[in-house]
Amino acid sequence: MAEATPHPLALPSGLLELCALLGPSRDSLRGPELVAQKKGASSLSALDPEVLSVFVPPFVSKEDTQLAGTNCALSKTRRRSFRKKREKPKTEPGKGPAPEDVSVPNGVDLLALPQLCFPGGVCVASEPKEDSVHFLVLTDVCGNRTYGVVAQYYRPLHDESCFYNGKMHWEPFRPPGAAAGCFVPFAVCVVSRFPYYNALKDCLSCLLTHLKLCKDFEVDNHIKDFAAKLSLIPSPPPGPLHLVFNMKPLQIVFPSRADPESPVVDLDLHLPLLCFRPEQVLQILTCLLTEQRIVFFSSSWALLALVAECFLAYLHPLQWQHTFVPILSGQMLDFVMAPTSFLMGCHLDHFQEVSKEADGLILINIDNGSVTYSNDEDIDVPDIPLLAAQTFIQRVQSLQLHHDLDLAHLGASTDLNEGRARRRAWQQGLNYQLQQVALQLLVSIFREVKNHLNYEHRVFNSEEFLKTRAPGDQQFYKQVLDTYMFHSFLKARLSRRMDAFAQMDLDTQSDEDRLSGMLPSPRRPTIEKMASRNSSSLHVTHRRMVVSMPNLRDIAVPELPARNSSLRKMDSEGSRSSSTGHQKQIDPETFKDFYNCWKEAEAEAQEVSLPSSVMEHLDKNECVYKLSSSVKTNRGVGKIAMTQKRLFLLTEGRPGYVEISTFRDIEEVRSTTVAFLLLRIPTLKIKTASKKEVFEANLKTECDVWHLMVKEMWAGKKLADDHKDPQYIQQALTHVLLMDAVVGTLQSPGAIYAASKLSYFDKMRNEMPAAVPKTTSETLKHKINPSAGETLPHAVDVLLYTPGHLDPAEKVEDAHPKLWCALSEGKVIVFDASSWTIHQHCFRVGTSKLNCMAMAEQSQVWVGSEDSVIYIINVHSMSCNKQLTDHRSGVTGFAVQSGAPSKVYSCSADGTVLAWNVSSLRVTSRLQLPGGGLSSIRLHDGCLWCCTGSGIVVVTTGGSLRQELKVEENSKDASTSFLGFQLLPEQEQLWAACAGLDGVYIWSLRDLARPPQRVHLRDCAEVSCMIRVKKQIWVGGTGRSQGKYKGKIYVIDAQRKTVEKELVAHTDAVKTLCSAEDRYVLSGSGSGEGKIAIWKVE
């Protein structure tokens, strides 16, 4: 079915993002301290607030969702879920359904929301207090803002009542007079993508009138109904029409924007002029234009956000590009120590403390209208250009700022909504006048910037511009021209954007300027051409989809872990860090919480959209796995992001990238505390090799888990570099994500201890700092893991390298050289040997162990199996479509004879040797060696050399016996047997290894009866394989290293007959070796490790 053409008029987006009820937990209300308070104690320590209930659109029941099926396409944005984990009361029969998980918008940080809704803390009062409202601004990693309005109210505390999840607790309601002088604060927070401060304040005021009258167990239902109604209200489109609706007892008005480029203005813009003289308003605007570190103070939490928003509205269309946190709770005061530009707000109680502790701050006291500097430091804040300042002051003084004076001649209104309508109309008129006055100020300051723009080359001649400024204004312009705000303003001018500034400039310019502007400008593109040329760069959304959980299908990129493997790896990885020997059972509810927390972290990471300015600093395969909350650091305020390669800071306000460190560059990680005011703030310190300054981040409650995670990633990177094995990073990521999920699930003091059990690599580095031998490190090139994504590693039984070839009829990737890897139970995985990435995921050839592989011709790989079948794989289709079943025992070896037609000799354990015509796949001859035990064959000088365990037999291709080398004739140990051999025709030598012997033996091909020479292999316990590479013999097996048995490789000079290198290859025995064009040697290990190592050949 063809897709329907989208309608040009999209449905307006809703106002409501989230509605939440917050307050103290029920457990804290029943504590002994509260009992003391009710009995007349004079003081009570502050309680910890938390999110009690969350309500988000769409408000659809499960039944409605099932009936709607897949037809409902609304609200498909991925959201995180909220589920209260600290208390999980069981549902009683007949007392209503269990609470459901609720999805939470990505822009809302539920961890930080309680302290923002109760910035002064939660304290029980002995008498009811008046309702209060304050306002929030929340910023995500991309600089997008959402806005919150918080209404606080008090309810009397009853002995046996609860205040949320009321469906499960049906206690009788007592009138307020029955409370024993104990009132508990609660808060309702409404979050919207639009700053409708006054309208949402009115809505919450209406809600509070209902909440005060309802019973305790009805609170959630009232808030849910309120949120459902609010979610149905669309945002009004730009234009002259406002949205009006009734919410008893008030009529609510949501004002529209004048045009799509204008901001929503739903606050009283004259508030700063009631608090400050016009000269001080200009001084504050100068601080904003020069991007100082600014802190507002007030005893009213509401004024902090409103006054700050008014000043930012005065700057429109210029935009504040830095951190904007209008309300700092007591736990967030360390933010004012950030070294970068910011705009923040604090309660007046902290004025003296902040002014003493922090340097270089602009301190603005809203309550007494003063502007001062912290520590009396001589901060260089220039004055606004004189003529522009004088004009602004005159215009402000001409405004009527007092509503009562303006309405003094009118009669009193007897209707509540009529009086509100009068006030609203007056305010809208005053807001418009103030916007015009502020815009005229900006135009008078920056009007002549356009005279120094080169539109063709898109540059601004700042030197020439500064020469035209008055001497007294030079300092102001020098500072402003270096700000991010001005650079953004310049881009808009160079793009000839017709915004509010450009329109005001056009409306107020002189006739001479207007006439010159109408004349044609040579070699200048039109606005339409500029828009078309820049449309792609302006409107393309740069999005980096990040993977938080490993994916089995994503192992083509070596740096990324395998999805869904991590939960299964818990048993194998976790068992190594567990101190107990027996298996512990996890109750289903806890595991469900753990799994949900894991999936929520994945969903949250996938929703992270990185700006292009950040992405250009990252590698193309880097992904963000973990984001912190907004924290203060010594390099600015923002969120710490962790990828598989590095840590960096996503700065707030204007989204930016600040490098913290790559994991390779870290020298030390410490968790400590720093003193600020009366607080001890948990802080993470990271020392790096490339920077003298230690990075410090006040991570507070997140500090312990980030300390664990960074140390684990640092240890994983160190091991990955030492062992040339990127899977250590993959495994470290798995450990880190498990830590994060464990801490998020338990939410208890023991969570960090439980998470520390997963710090496997960090413990391994501290407890067993075994360095990789220098020779091994220099020779080892890389490691790959064919068992990635599997529950347990598999032994690498056979390796085969096939060279690349050019064929115009094939895909480019099919022409690359390949590494064929045979695992247990008939599994075969194919790697692209040019990049060591997976070319073909696992496919099976039978179910038995595979013993040998050979490339019979360019398009065929033959695989010999323990089940006596030869499987033929087509290298183009990567499928097995032919089988040879002439052997009666396990196939153990191949020998390929080139020529036309080409032949392949195969041998089996029962002593049978078959000669095959590759074209017809028919047996051309058959040999039977006596005794059996045939393990391998080789072609040399027209003869077949066969290793039978008890000896090496040389026969012609026709079956005639030429020579025989008996093992018992050359060894004192009667129980030994030949494991394998190599022929060196140039030196006329036969090299062989024997079971149970710690050496390699060398015979002369001229006379096999002569006693062999022996090359001793130091600390060798067992030899399992050997190959010839150039003039070297590589021997793989097991040997002692640093007191443990490990897989070792001995590299022997064939001419000198001495061991050149001892390589500690694997933690398990070396099972197989193969050569890649004599440039590399590849070794495969046993099931204890299951990896493939790639070695350089010198």
- 3 state SS for 378-414: CCCCCCCCHHHHHHHHHHHHCCCCCHHHHCCCCCCCC
pLDDT digits (tens, 9 = 90+) for 294-306: 999 999 999 999 9
DSSP state of 309: H
Residue where the block lists tokens 């050997």: 1026
Q: Following DSSP, what letter does each residue of 593-627 receive, concatenated?
A: HHHHHHHHHHHHHHT----HHHHTTS-TT----EE
Q: Which residues, other chains included, contact 310 with Cβ-Cβ below 8 Å and sequence gap of 6+?
A: 267, 268, 269, 271, 272
C-beta contacts of 88-92 below 8 A and 24+ residues apart:
88/589, 89/165, 89/168, 91/168, 92/168
Residue 678 identity (one-letter amino acid): L
Beta strands in 442-563 (DSSP E): 453-454, 459-460
d(Cα 579, Cα 562) in Å, to the nearest integer? Answer: 27
Q: What are phi and psi of 26, to 5 degrees?
A: -65, -35
Count other Cβ atoms within 10 Å, centred on residue 177.
6
d(Cα 151, Cα 780) in Å, to the nearest integer? Answer: 64
Which pLDDT belongs to residue 923?
94
Q: What are phi and psi of 522, to 5 degrees?
A: -65, 145
Residue where the block lists tokens 């099931």: 1087
C-beta contacts of 975-979 below 8 A and 24+ residues apart:
977/933, 977/949, 977/950, 978/935, 978/947, 978/948, 978/949, 978/950, 978/951, 978/952, 979/935, 979/1023, 979/1024, 979/1025
d(Cα 405, Cα 417) in Å, to the nearest integer? Answer: 20
Judge if the upstream peptide bond of residue 249 is cis by omega within 30 degrees of 0: yes
Which pLDDT belongs to residue 30?
66
Residue where the block lists tokens 């000079």: 1053
- Give me the sheet containing 1044-1053, strands edge to edge: 1020-1029, 1032-1041, 1044-1053, 1058-1066
CA nearest neighbour of 122 among 72, 202, 187, 75 = 187
d(Cα 348, Cα 734) in Å, to the nearest integer? Answer: 46
**What do you get for the CA distance between the two ends of the chain, in Å?**
62
Which pLDDT belongs to residue 386?
92
Q: Which residues of the chain have pLDDT under 50?
A: 1-11, 32-33, 36, 41-43, 62-81, 85-99, 159-179, 511-512, 515-582
Count other Cβ atoms within 10 Å, centred on residue 249.
10
The separation between CA 493 and the C-alpha centre of its own chain, rounded to angstroms, equals: 36
Residue 873 identity (one-letter amino acid): I
Which alpha helices (DSSP H) does 451-498 contain, by range?
A: 462-467, 474-480, 484-494
Question: pTM for the whole thing?
Answer: 0.73
